[in-house]
């Protein structure tokens, strides 16, 4: 009997290793078997070399309104906006330029901080420099190091002074 077992031992070992390792190397999308479906099934049917992720539609933002109040050398802004095309999926930059002054300010924003429509707040320190009027624009970029493109109208307004 031991002779028979010795003859079949290498073959049995190979069979056991083959059966146990058959599942090795499978990714989680096929682990459920041939009848299982996953969210990634559609990506497997795409042609080689093609990407299944499309570039997002370029954003267009309407700056609706901005309130600006000067208090202790800081101009506090509340800016209302709406995406009229696209949605917040990139990196954004709100730029404020004060008329008749070298004063300016920026507010970087990430997609998670924005909604298709809403408002955000920002403050710009101006010190003792007189500021009366402002211009605001909104820009987007795939990445800040690639540069921003203006995607909004230019909104102008007056800076009001808070009462002490």
The per-residue pLDDT for range 116-132, each reduced to its tens digit, is 999 999 999 998 888 99
Does residue 35 lie within any of the structural domains?
A: no
Q: What are the residues whose beta carbons fall under 8 Å from the beta carbon of 130, sequence distance 6 or more? A: 101
Does residue 13 lie within any of the structural domains?
A: no
Residue 130 confidence (pLDDT): 86
Length of the chain: 164
Does residue 17 lie within any of the structural domains?
A: no
The number of distinct structural domains making up the chain is 1
Residues of the chain with confidence (pLDDT) below 70: 1-55, 163-164
Report the C-alpha gap between 51 and 53 in whole angstroms.
6
Does residue 91 lie within any of the structural domains?
A: yes
Does residue 52 lie within any of the structural domains?
A: no
Report the C-alpha gap between 120 and 122 in whole angstroms.
7
Does residue 3 lie within any of the structural domains?
A: no
Does residue 39 lie within any of the structural domains?
A: no
Domain range for 154 is: 60-161
Q: What is the pTM of this model?
A: 0.65
Residue 121 confidence (pLDDT): 97
Residue 102 confidence (pLDDT): 85
Q: What is the CATH number of the domain that holds 141?
A: 2.60.40.10
Does residue 145 lie within any of the structural domains?
A: yes
Residue 24 confidence (pLDDT): 53
Three-state SS at 101:
coil
């Amino acid at each position: 009997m031991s002779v028979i077992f010795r003859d079949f031992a290498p073959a049995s070992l190979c069979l056991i290793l083959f059966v146990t390792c058959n599942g090795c190397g499978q990714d989680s999308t096929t682990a459920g078997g041939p009848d299982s479906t996953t969210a990634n099934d559609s990506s497997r049917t795409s042609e080689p070399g093609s990407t299944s992720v499309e570039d997002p539609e370029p954003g267009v933002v309407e700056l609706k309104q901005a309130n600006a109040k000067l208090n202790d050398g800081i101009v506090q802004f509340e800016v209302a906006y709406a995406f009229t095309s696209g949605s917040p999926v990139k990196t954004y930059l709100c730029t404020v330029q004060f008329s008749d002054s070298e004063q300016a300010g920026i507010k970087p924003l990430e997609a998670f901080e924005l909604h298709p429509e809403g408002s955000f707040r920002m403050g710009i320190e101006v010190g003792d420099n007189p500021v009366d009027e402002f211009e605001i624009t909104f820009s987007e970029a795939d990445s800040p190091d690639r540069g921003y493109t203006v995607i909004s109208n230019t909104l102008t307004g007056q800076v009001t002074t808070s009462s002490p």
